Amino acid sequence: MIVVSCMRQTDREHHDHEAARHSHEAAWGSPQVRERLRTTRAFVLDLDGTLVLTDRTNSSYIPLPGAIALTRWLASRGVPFVMFTNGTTKTPHAYARTLAETGFTLNEASVMTPAVSAAELFARRGYRRVMVLGNDGLTGPLRAAGIEVVPPAREQAGRAGVDAVLAGWYREFSMDTLEVACDAVWQGARLFSCSQSVFFATADGKALGTSRAISAMIRSITGCRIEVVGKPSLHALRSAARRLGVRPAELAVVGDDPELEVPMAHRGGALAVAVGTGVGTTSAFARLPRARRPHLMMAGIGDLLDLCQELGDPTRDRRKS
């Protein structure tokens, strides 16, 4: 009986040890994930719900705890990063300016939007005229890339046809706009969406985006295919990787939406890091099929900073690459 009792005690100790190990790995990642994070060469950081919370019009930002400190820590160690938002209310330059006023230290090259990845994709495919369902935040990067931007007006769209229709943040969308966009698709234009996410995170809770709603109406009427140029597309991930000068598999992608950053990371073989401060909760990420779950689940961006600091200075490994 004494032996059995000792065995039971040993079993309990083993169970407690395993439970503690699994709890630690759930909070801080397995040894393999921790090593991968330590040697990550560059970061793609989501904006809304990950680094900041905004209002429903995207006019001001509130940094989330640890956000500014993380970007400063990465910069001080020479680890490149970009902030990639699916928002197109502003140009990258305007986003960078607003974020700098909030306290972040960055430049225009530090911010990317779907307009940037769309411009690269359209240039590769030889698209010269694009009908834009959006405002300056969407048209600016396209014009900078030498693409002719066509407003959704019948007299201009019908002049020579368009190669593509691109839907972004466009609360001015109307029935007249819908009719012109559908005509363009019927005449052979491809339909692209900046985002198929239903919501984005704000300080007031979830807010509806417009890209998905607009592109859904056009698809419902025309039966066309929608191609996404923002997250979670590989177009977006590869565009960010090119800007950072690394391969997609050498990136860590950090975000709050189970339908955006995590699947994008998996598609490109990058490290998927989720935070629970935006659209997705810990339970939402846990309900994903195992192969689609984040490699690392953090309560917030401040915890990611703590983990990076715990893992030590990664620059030695990066300099060897």
- Judgement on whether residues 125 and 61 belong to the same structural domain of the protein: no
Q: The CATH number of the domain where 136 resides is what?
A: 3.40.50.1000
**Would you call 38 exposed, middle or buried from its count of C-beta atoms within 10 A (0-12, 13-18, 19+)?**
middle
The mean pLDDT value for 110-124 works out to: 97
- Judgement on whether residues 194 and 287 belong to the same structural domain of the protein: no
- Judgement on whether residues 91 and 240 belong to the same structural domain of the protein: yes
Does residue 5 form part of some domain? no
Does residue 2 form part of some domain? no
- Judgement on whether residues 223 and 156 belong to the same structural domain of the protein: yes
Does residue 19 form part of some domain? no
Query: What is the percentage of the chain residues whose pLDDT exceeds 70?
Result: 86
87-104 pLDDT, tens digit per residue, is 999 999 999 999 999 999
List of residues 6+ apart from 213 with CB closer than 8 A: none
**Would you call 97 exposed, middle or buried from its count of C-beta atoms within 10 A (0-12, 13-18, 19+)?**
middle
Q: Is it the case that residue 45 has pLDDT exceeding 50?
A: yes
Does residue 292 form part of some domain? yes
- Judgement on whether residues 53 and 191 belong to the same structural domain of the protein: no
* Phi–psi pair at 187, nearest 5 degrees: -85, 5
Interior/surface letters 138-159, b for 16+ CB within 10 angstroms, e for the rest: bbbbbeeeebebbebeeeebee
Does residue 304 form part of some domain? yes
Where does a domain end: 228, 262, 290?
A: 228
User: How far apart are alpha carbons 107 and 96 in whole angstroms?
Assistant: 6
The mean pLDDT value for 76-94 works out to: 95
- Three-class SS of residue 308? helix
242-263 pLDDT, tens digit per residue, is 999 999 999 999 999 999 999 9
Task: Centre a 10 Å sphere on the Cβ of residue 201 and count the other Cβ atoms it contains.
Answer: 23
Q: How many domains does the chain fold into? A: 2
- Judgement on whether residues 131 and 207 belong to the same structural domain of the protein: yes
Does residue 29 form part of some domain? no
| Strand ranges, E, within 162-317 | 164-167, 190-193, 199-202, 205-208, 226-228, 251-255, 271-275, 296-298
24-38 pLDDT, tens digit per residue, is 444 567 999 999 999
Closest CA to 66 of 54, 84, 52: 52
Angle at Cα 197 formed by Cα 191 and Cα 202, nearest 5°?
Answer: 135
Where does a domain end: 228, 251, 276?
A: 228
Domain coverage including residue 221: 115-228
DSSP-derived secondary structure for 161-188: --SEEEE-S-TT--HHHHHHHHHHHHTT
- Judgement on whether residues 109 and 181 belong to the same structural domain of the protein: no
Query: What is the percentage of the chain residues whose pLDDT exceeds 90?
Result: 74
Does residue 85 form part of some domain? yes
Quickly state the pLDDT bin for 41 (edges 50, 70, 90): very high
Handedness of CA 82, 271, 313, 69 (dihedral sign): positive
- Judgement on whether residues 224 and 120 belong to the same structural domain of the protein: yes
DSSP-derived secondary structure for 5-35: HHHHHHHHHHHHHHHHHHHHHHHH--HHHHH
- Judgement on whether residues 201 and 136 belong to the same structural domain of the protein: yes
User: How far apart are alpha carbons 201 and 301 in whole angstroms?
Assistant: 15
- Judgement on whether residues 128 and 199 belong to the same structural domain of the protein: yes
pTM of the model: 0.86
Does residue 319 form part of some domain? no
